[in-house]
């Protein structure tokens, strides 16, 4: 049984459904969900380095709102949640956070590029010795 599940969130309908699945799994396994929202710097740039600071701030506020909504849903179900909102490239931040929290499972809700899938397999191999990401 997992002790931690990593869930990236973006506010989409698929993200909401994945959040429900993560909460179901966490209830069954009595584990913690780590919810991650990444402000994509490839899309918005960095606030200190661009004139798009208002867009970045807005994206970050949206992310914090999504995380707060997820925490409220988790709290209603008695599931422990830890959150992180950061700037970066989503695939890179997801992998770094999976390593940082030693995630047992990563719940992905959309098609993942092969390169990211291979990196996740590497993380899973080091955590479980399976070589397969759980997604």
Q: Where are the domains of the chain?
A: 4-128
CB 85 within 8 A of CB 67: yes
Phi, psi angles (nearest 5°) of residue 41:
-70, -20
Q: pLDDT tens digits for 12-62?
A: 888 888 999 999 999 999 999 999 999 887 776 565 555 667 777 888 899
Fold of 4-128: Rossmann fold (3.40.50)
- Entry pTM: 0.75
Secondary structure (H, E, C), 86-119: EEECHHHHHHHHHHHCCCCEECCCCCCCHHHHHH
**Which of the residue ranges 18-22, 51-55, 84-88, 94-98 would you say has the lowest mean pLDDT?**
51-55
């Amino acid at each position: 049984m997992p002790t931690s599940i990593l869930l990236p969130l973006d506010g989409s309908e698929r993200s909401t459904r994945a959040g429900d699945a993560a909460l179901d799994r966490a209830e069954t396994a009595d584990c913690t969900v780590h919810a991650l929202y990444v402000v994509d710097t490839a899309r918005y740039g960095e606030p200190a380095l661009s004139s798009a600071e208002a867009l970045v701030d807005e994206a970050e506020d949206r992310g914090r709102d999504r995380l707060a909504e997820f925490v409220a849903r988790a709290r209603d179900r008695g599931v422990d949640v830890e959150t992180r909102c950061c700037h970066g490239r989503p695939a890179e931040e997801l992998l770094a956070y999976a390593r940082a929290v030693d995630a047992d499972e990563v719940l992905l809700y959309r098609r993942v590029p092969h390169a990211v899938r291979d990196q996740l397999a590497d993380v899973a191999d080091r955590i479980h010795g399976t070589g397969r990401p759980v997604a």
